[in-house]
Amino acid sequence: MGRRIVIVGGVGAGASVATRARRLDEQAEITIFEKSGYVSFANCGLPYYVGGIIEDRDKLLVQTPDKLYARFRIDVRVRHEVTAIDRAAKRVRGTNLATGEPFEQPYDKLILCPGADAVVPPIAGTDATNVFVLRNMEDTDAIYEYLAKNTIRSAVIVGAGFIGLEVAEALVHRGVHVDVVELLNQVMAPLDADMAAVVAGHVREKGVGLHLGSGLESLETADGRVRAVVLQNGSRIEADMVLLSIGVRPNSRLAVEAGLAVGERGGIRVNEYLQTSDPDILAAGDAIEIVHGVNGQPTLIPLAGPANKHGRLAGEIAVTDVVRPAARVFGTAIVKVFDLAVASTGFSMKAAARCGLGAKHATIYRAQHASYYPGATPMRIKIVYDPADGRLLGAQIVGREGVDRRIDVVAAALHFGGTIHDLAELDLAYAPPYGSAKDPLNIAAFVAQNEQAGRVKQTDPADLERFVSQGYQLVDLRTAEEYAGGSIPGALHIPLDDLRARVDELPTDRPLLVFCQVGERGYVGARILHGLGRNDAVNLVGGYSWYKEQRP
């Protein structure tokens, strides 16, 4: 008889624990207890099945109990809920949810992978038949069946995070009018407001109603169904169905009741080797607090990538007792929002501010490949860095194509402790259909280097009103044709190519805030002005394009 490995919870982390443990120890006795009816499914694919983009439900089932037993001899028991851990006796106890019978199972090593639960607000009506969350296959089946059996013309999604916007797109794809309600003043909380504004504008273009800055107040119900959603600002939105996508919280109840240490954020506390406060109990996945790679502080990062990799490491440690530290996690994520790809890694500016880091950023607009090659589309790239030493802290990218590979490059740079100088010098692949000789990431790093060296002054677009209130003269450097299509009120128009000849037209008793369409010509204009002695010139990052995006 080999080592007895018991795993609580399947999906990404738990299944990875089990299969890695088996590959390293053919004699181990490996058992998975999974509360739901499915041990391993593609939870990131659930919205796409709801929307009909993924048509075959079975493609979501990554592994089944029979397949895991046939290939790996893993004993998978679905619909078995572990309800207690007896650490002294090294046994778990629980209930077979299919029969109601209790069970016990001894272990030598126990790995907790219970995941996270959807946050459901404590208000009346959340148990209505047309109110849903989306976390597992059972949730997915309930939504899919409800859409199939009912005429759904309108839906309200509470929460404008990644899943909320994915489901919004899925329902729009099925012909449903969608309203999204969000307590914050922006969509996608991990992003900075200026980057989120791009996403919000695109979502509105697709016909989705966005209600930002006002959360859910109550649900109006009749005959067991929600008829309308009432917001904190008093607005009322009628709906045929409601999806709660407010967020998730770690399912740490089992650990708490067993006396295991839990962090301030409610996640199971583990050391760098994924061991809990009991060395014979490890944990992985969405239920644990992990160390953020930027500042080394514990946090919650409920993403599939870390869950799978941590599960693999926990399985290795459980059967070999050879410990190695888990890799740092930067929260790298990407999501499809209609025609946009939205990605982030590391810290945003607001995350850096919360942690007391005096970060700066560089934001650029560039095509994903050579502009002369057909099909070039713009990306907005924002890199965040420490001005003291140039250390990269994070990045956010929004665009239609080329976003995925750029965010992965920054994630790799973060992993290896890279700086803006490293990013500026990276030798990235180039051919006109794929990139540019100076890749957009190189350009973003160049901008950061220039600002760090004091060669240019730039301002965050959110500070426009503050600069105007301080008496800055706006200067529009775009062409006459661009200017004719609209400008920021109060701006003096001098095309960039005329700037040197017309510099005397600029007021000398006021500092200058120059802008173009996206920021590149604004930077050149600011450099020209600095060279002519106007060191008070500041470039407005994002330019008129950003200004228009802020006014939906």
As separate numbers, helices (DSSP H) first and strands (DSSP E) second, the chain gives 16, 33
Place of tokens 């999806």: 243
Of residues 117 and 1, more confidence is placed in 117
Lowest pLDDT segment from 39-53, 66-80, 179-193, 476-490: 39-53
The residue-averaged pLDDT of 306-331 equals: 95
- Which 3-state string (H, E, C) describes 115-182? CEEECCCCCCCCCCCCEECCCCHHHHHHHHHHHHHCCCCEEEEECCCHHHHHHHHHHHHCCCEEEEEE
Residue 547, pLDDT score = 84
Range 359-386 burial, b when 16+ CB lie within 10 A, else e: bbbbbbbbbbbbeeeeebebbbbbbbbb
Domains annotated on the chain, with CATH? 4-115+249-320 (3.50.50.60), 131-246 (3.50.50.60), 339-452 (3.50.50.60), 461-549 (3.40.250.10)
Give the pLDDT confidence of 439-472 residue by residue, as tens digits. Answer: 999 999 999 999 898 888 888 777 889 999 999 9
Rounded Cα distance, 352 and 330, in Å: 13
| Number of other CB atoms surrounding residue 225 within 10 Å | 18
pLDDT digits (tens, 9 = 90+) for 235-254: 999 999 999 999 999 999 99
Indicate yes or no: pTM above 0.75: yes
Would you tell me how many other CB atoms lie within 10 Å of the CB of residue 532? 13
Q: Residue 421: is it exposed, middle or buried by C-beta count within 10 angstroms (0-12/13-18/19+)?
A: middle
Short-list 494, 490, 493, CA closest to 469:
490
Q: Is the pLDDT of residue 362 over 80?
A: yes
From the candidates 44, 113, 355, 516, give the one annotated as an active-site residue.
Answer: 44
Provide the strand spans (E) within 9-65: 29-34, 40-41, 61-63
Which amino acid is located at 538 in the chain?
V
Alpha carbons 63 and 60: distance in angstroms, whole number: 9
Residues 34 and 331 sit within 8 Å (Cβ to Cβ): no
The pLDDT score that the predictor gives to residue 252 is 96
Q: Nearest-5° angle of CA 106, CA 108, CA 110?
A: 85
Looking at residue 497, its pLDDT comes to 97
Closest CA to 364 of 116, 542, 488: 542
Region 13-41: mean pLDDT is 96
What whole-number percentage of the chain has pLDDT above 90? 91
Distance separating alpha carbons of residues 217 and 385, to the nearest angstrom: 39
Which of the four pLDDT bands, split at 50, 70 and 90, describes residue 551? low
Is 113 a known active-site residue? Answer: no
Give me the mean pLDDT over the 269-291 stretch.
96
Burial of 9 (0-12, 13-18, 19+ CB in 10 A): buried
Q: In what order do the strands lie in the sheet with 225-231?
A: 216-222, 225-231, 236-238
The 3-state secondary structure of 275-332 reads ECCCCCEEECCCCEEEEECCCCCEECCCCHHHHHHHHHHHHHHHHHCCCCCCCCECCC
Nearest CA to 537 out of 518, 513, 515, 517 is that of 513
Average pLDDT, the chain: 95
| Type of residue found at 290 | I
CB within 8 A of 222, min separation 6: which ones? Answer: none
Q: How far apart are CA 299 and CA 288, in angstroms?
A: 9
Coil, strand or helix: which one is 374? Answer: coil
